[in-house]
Chains A and B, each alone.
Chain A
Amino acid sequence: MAAGRFDLYFPPFNGLTPAQKEDLTEKADLLFFGGGEEILAPERKVDALYLVLKGIVGEMAAGEVTGVYREEDIFDSRSLLTGRVENRFVAHEETLLYALPRRAVLAAAEDSPEFGAYFFARISEKPRSPARVGGQMEWHNILTATIRDVGARTPVFLDASSSIALAARAMRENHCRAVLVLDGERVGIFTMSNFCDAIADAVPRDSPIGARAYYTLYCCDEDEHVFSALLLMTRHNIQRVVVTKKGKPTGVLPQIDLLSFFSSHSHLVSKQIEQAADLDGLIEAGGGIDATIATLNATGMKTPQLARLVQALDMRLMERLWQLCAPPEVAAGCTLLALGSGGRGEQILKTDQDNALIFSDALDPAAVEKAAAAFCDGLLKVGYPPCGGGIMANQPAWRGTERDWRERITRWAHSPDKETWMHLAAWLDAETVAGGTARLDACRQYLSWRVRGERQWFGWLARAISQFDHLQAENRFWRQLLHRHGEAHFDIKKGGIFPIVHGVRVLAVEAGIMPVNTFERLEALAVAGVIERVFADDLAGALAFMMKLRLDGGLGARRWGKEAGNIVDTGALSSLERDSLRESLALARKFKTFVSRHYQLGRF
């Protein structure tokens, strides 16, 4: 059968060459099923991978729908290795399938690692789905940015008669790796490599730079696109271009600046934060963080890394805001904390502000209250919505001296109740924003001393993991998906992210692990042997993927002027993403079982 009869233009087939596609489809048949007909039964031998050309297929386990496959979806990739399916597959409506022979799929997987990775990589290694339409828009912004947007460095001009020693001093003083050389009408450049040559050739240090400078300059006008500068550098293998305005050299643009512009706008934002003189300046910088997020997500930066970068910026912004709000004597006696996702470094889009203060006994509580109120109000104006649970430094319960905090911790540790676990969970993820880490460390040590070895206490804390009926919600979700025109929404925080984050949190605290970031905790738990290495990596992959979904959804919502939330609309997902979501949720479920067994939660 000729390739292209059914155009396999979508993932994972889009990476295959026409010849590979032809090999894959040469022995493929078409299968037609009426609504309600069974396609595959459990334990039956399977010799093909099915691609849905039309219709909807439901995957059933124990009478419940556990997966849904629509046009361009593939099932059952798990059977590729074993040759058997575990679950029942039923045509939900009239369905047309393309049956790709198992042997041909395996051969293609061998030929094309990218294609093979789709089927055989664990979720943590799955290829990232390419940035989608929205992402391309952000890319567009980068593509159209001009050199002026990046900002060139002011050059150092030296006369051609200046000595090499003078040039070296000028470079050192100005922290630059090139100077421009004025030789009458000519302009040249003297760079670090000229300098190396001069030393190598044993040129005396007082000889003029004019004789050793390059006079062929690679120039870009400041209104040219940044990409032309990058191209020029790549083509001529040079480290910098001279930026001109109306033909006159006005600056130098080093490659490193250009690359950091591409990889992030973040350093510009952080500069903006540091230079902000008032709240308005910070509000502007806060907008810069949002733009950075959208851009970096579009350039394909991994979500966990992106989250950490955003955390660094957020922390700097909060620190600067605190400096603006708190008089120096108050600031000196206070430790400002970011709690919850902000502390863990897993909040990307600003969803809420969770913060707290520990202050010295010597301070006037009224002065601290005033500073805290100004701080929370300022954060709100910058764009951090208030915390629904009231976990904010302007609330008396989230502000206190070290002794106050010890009392709270004792209360949490000894009289656990349904409300306090959320507070405790937020507290366990605290990270210092300003004021040194000593006060937080002391509080933490106190907590770990109080609860050390109290297995029952950890069990109580872990129990929240099953507060949300995972399976039922998931089933409802997959069932919704069966209805083509209905929207299928799923709370990815409750259903997938929370169980992983919380379970990891409890296990990490019990194991005395200090970092609060979930990925770092997972790594430490794997090293300590609490969680098997493979499982820990899979969980990290699943969490990263779900964070990415939430981020994509949030950025999409923002583009439509809506609030970013935790709800994922699966109608907008590609089949690749739905597949990964299915796997991620299964991992979250497996982890819940693991935690329940670990703390023997069944006994409660």
Chain B
Amino acid sequence: MCESLFAALRKRRIRPAYRALFDQDDGQIVSIDCETTSLDVKQAELLAIAAVKIDGGRIAVSTAFQAIVRPRSAPDSDNVRIHGLRPVDVHAGAAPEEALRVLLDFIGGRTLLGYYLEYDVAVLNKYLKPLLGTALPNRKRELSSRYHDWRQRLYPGAYIDLRWETMIHRLEIPALPRHDAMNDAITAAMMHLALEERFRPPLSRNK
């Protein structure tokens, strides 16, 4: 209730040209992941964005959004080792503004899902604020906090390891090669569905 009120307030601040976009919400969730040049939001520049829709139990990989973005400064060598995107790869990418316009179209007003989503959204907002006039108004669902709730319920008071690999392992999800934006977005979607399954009351299963 409170969240939707904030969202409504934020929506009013969106430039009119984009306002209609955020009215589109069909209840689907968009799992999103970005690869960037740095882990510091202030310095970080976008390199790749991937987003995939979750429609009920379906992860719509076939219609996923994926873009390689041309950064203003070259990715530093430490980071290349993480995401495997070399300067030559990103040089062929799209200008950030173009990629983001398509992305906005893709996500519409749907809820966003991600692992440490706050960071990804913060980087996206750096680019989007000049465009929209405000931050992304979408509802956000943090995978790690949902996971935390589940483990907490199973083992009250215990230390909960929120590392990506640990979560994959505990949720028994097939592991995909990491640090590929698309793979990470798909994996997050798989984890989300596996998690929700664990929160589902047993009776509703025999539908």
Contacts and interface: CB of A to CB of B under 8 A. Distances in A.
Interface stretch (B20-28, B84-92, B131-139, B172-180): B172-180
Interface string A1-38: 11001100000000000000000001111111111111
A33 B190 CA distance: 11
B176 A54 contact: no
Given A5-B182, A96-B174, A28 B57 contact: no
A594 to B, nearest CB: 39
Contact of B197 (A1, A28, A31, A34): A34
B173 A1 contact: no
Contacts of A53: 174
Highest count of chain B CB atoms <10 Å: which of A6, A28, A30, A35? A30
B61 A54 contact: no
A485 to B, nearest CB: 14
Contacts of B62: 1, 26-29, 101
Contacts of B182: 1-2, 5
A31 B59 contact: yes
A306 to B, nearest CB: 39
A6 B58 contact: no
B61 A94 contact: no
A54 B174 contact: yes
Contacts of B81: none
Interface in B134-176: 172-174, 176
A27 B63 CA distance: 8
Chain B's interface size range is 20 to 34
Contacts of B200: 34
Contacts of A29: 58-62
B186 A5 contact: yes
B207 A32 contact: no
Contacts of A96: 173-174, 190
A37 B205 contact: yes
A134 B57 CA distance: 41
B73 interface: no
Interface in B56-70: 57-62, 64
A26 B60 CA distance: 11
Contacts of A5: 176, 182-183, 186
A94 B197 contact: yes
A37 B207 contact: yes
Contacts of A30: 58-59, 61, 186, 189-190
Contact of A35 (B189, B190, B205): B205
B8 to A, nearest CB: 31
A26 B61 CA distance: 8
B193 interface: yes
A473 to B, nearest CB: 28
B59 A54 contact: no
A414 B59 CA distance: 69
Given A31-B58, A54-B173, A36 B186 contact: no
Interface in B181-207: 182-183, 186, 189-190, 193-194, 197, 200, 205-207
A187 B205 CA distance: 85
Interface string B120-136: 00000000000000000
B70 to A, nearest CB: 20
Interface in A34-53: 34-38, 53
16 contacts: A1-B61, A1-B64, A2-B182, A5-B176, A5-B186, A29-B58, A29-B59, A30-B59, A30-B189, A30-B190, A32-B197, A33-B57, A54-B174, A96-B173, A96-B190, A101-B62
Interface of B: 57-62, 64, 172-174, 176, 182-183, 186, 189-190, 193-194, 197, 200, 205-207
Those 9 A-B pairs whose CB atoms lie nearest each other, nearest first:
A30-B59, A32-B193, A27-B62, A32-B57, A34-B197, A36-B205, A1-B61, A29-B61, A29-B62
